Amino acid sequence: MNDTPRPGTLAPFVLVVAVFAISTAAPIVRLAGTPPLVIATWRLGLSVLVVGGLAVAGGGWRQWRGLSRHDLLVAVAAGVALAIHFWAWIASIGLTSVAASVVLVNLQPVIVAAGSAWWLGERPSAGQWAGVALAVVGAGVVGLGDGVLAGLAESGRNPALGNALAVLGAVTAALYYLAGRHLRARLDLWPYTALVYGACFVVLLVAALVRQEPVWPVAGRELGLYAALAAGPMLLGHTGLNWALRHLPAYVVNLTVLGEPIGATLLAWLVPAIGEPPTSAALVGGGLVLAGAIRAARR
């Protein structure tokens, strides 16, 4: 995947593949059942091996020499934000429903749209703001329907805390996307992802070691799930979105991930080991989310 600017033909395809890939993350996390920090650390560690190898093999790492101190600080901040995002969101999946978690964590577009206007000078139109508002309403319908009405509290979970962690994941993911839009103007895909994913991995590994989480040894089943998280949601999903950040405004790229709740909810329903059927609220809210995303992404 290179950075040849062909957004009119390639970008929509890349975004569709990326959204499908990230939709598999929540079901895989639910199947893993290991501590959130352990899952996030392995997911990033395996991803860094791939993107770091590509950055070294292609010589892209030399672009790091041209970064200013400010750019390096932005890259580190993006890695820290991504680390908090993964920890908070993965933790939320064990406390609330898959549908509520993935919808609430994808309330990022409001933050990204505001941040794009303030920091990047990419101001959404009135019609795009209307699409954002419609998508947020749909997210609220899903979140309330699955988080409050599903009776998760009786099952030993804590939907209120889980939903709050998902919202924290939304805020930190939005900061990560804004930093990515800034840095992608200066770095090609592999040196950018190697730098930011590397910073994220270091933060997660240090946090896991400080908390004495069982990072090692790891069973074969869990290692396979971690590898699936790295290959699909991380390398195809997040890396595809990072590619698109060079060619499209941050709020447009971020809005497309609102399709994730639909895919993740369906997968959580269809995978027998999870078996969480979507509620009527998930279906209605999901339709609003998609309609808002389409409206907001139109030029």
The reported pLDDT for the residue numbered 47 is 96
The reported pLDDT for the residue numbered 53 is 96
The reported pLDDT for the residue numbered 217 is 86
The reported pLDDT for the residue numbered 198 is 96
Residue 240 contacts residue 98 (beta carbons within 8 Å) = no
Amino acid code (one letter) for 285: G
The reported pLDDT for the residue numbered 71 is 93
Amino acid code (one letter) for 267: L
pLDDT (tens, 9 = 90+) of the chain, 299 residues, equals 555 555 556 888 888 899 999 999 999 999 988 999 999 999 999 999 999 999 999 999 999 999 999 999 999 999 999 999 999 999 998 888 887 788 788 777 777 766 666 665 667 778 878 887 887 788 777 666 655 545 544 455 787 788 889 989 989 998 888 888 788 888 999 999 999 999 999 999 999 999 999 998 888 899 999 999 999 999 999 889 888 888 887 767 777 777 787 788 888 888 888 888 777 777 787 788 778 767 766 65
The reported pLDDT for the residue numbered 278 is 72
Amino acid code (one letter) for 271: V
The reported pLDDT for the residue numbered 226 is 96
